[in-house]
Structure 1
């Protein structure tokens, strides 16, 4: 039995997210599994490093699957990219040890979020950024980023209800880079809770525009109450850039 690792790039605009849905073929996982099942002539189920929501994009999603197929990797990636929709691309394919698991072996992730910060929206960036016209205090937002870096219980910045699993995560980097009207936020950490990046982004924006105070971050860490944090920003500005594994 071979274990195959995929590095996947996709535009999530017209999909219902990563995870396969029983009554819909509009998912990234479902599209890839269907093609793999056809070309290997056996039922294939792929394991992703994690789910991405409807509308979220990826430059470096990782998945793996087991197969008895003897098909060469070069032929497999060529067939996948030939038959998959043009908004899903397999960037790399490799055979990995049997014990490799795309989700359980992941040690960290890098996300980007893009903001179009101008009174006038962009016709070209609308699927890949969130149009936010409010003026922003970037010095204050930098200070807010520094508060979020480190190890904390982030349940108040997620859509999760009470859970038995740990909601403590470590953010190693949270930075802001201005590229004209396009603002690029980078999040690197050991893992992210459901909608955590989008809620952190909403909190940063509301602090930057004066709707929330800087102290809100400390208050949410203490209270663990989701409603005290900022809005959940739309998914189209979010990209999964990279998944980290130990060598």
Structure 2
């Protein structure tokens, strides 16, 4: 694969250099005349040359982008290894479950900071980003639901809330039910605004926390800006890996306190 990419890149650069020299230069005397005076041969070769230049430019950029994506990312590696260390300590060390709430909120604040830095956002400029945690619970009489219990930065309007699942609601319910990230770029569109009445945030990403088939919870990251997180596929590929250690830590902490089991017992 690497050899193919090198070859394609070389061919693209060679085409960009040779086409103007051997084709366009050959017909330069004709090309300076009005197009109505061009011969059929000149029109054909000029059209093919321009198409080849455009294709070569696309190939060159594609090869460059592929190399960039495959390049070593020290920040991503550092985040991954740090998260692995924390998870190992939680699994094999002694930890007071009464401190889980504080640890979860600390991890949520770290998520906020990492996302802000990754997106080039600044709170000083009014780019408020907040993260919170919702716990998946199943009660005998109520059924499955999500309960908002922890915040990183608790901004105005953020209150504890329980959302019953099964009604095809957007945002966190959809994320946990489909077990994939769900992104609402604008909460104030005509079909969504009634779900987010009196909410200050305008865009939100919901990330499900699961272990196999077991639903554990959802991490929501919201912003006061519309479409603050760009394209979801780019967020998934470039930003989520940086916050994955914090997501794994929160998931492990929720499993330690065994909140779902307590909820069922309480019901």
- The TM-score, its normalising length taken from structure 1, stands at 0.23
Highest RCO, 1 vs 2 (Cα 8 Å, sep ≥ 6):
1
> Could you say which structure has the higher helix fraction?
2
> What TM-score does the superposition give when structure 2 sets the normalisation length?
0.22
Larger-gyration structure (1/2): 2
Higher strand share: 1
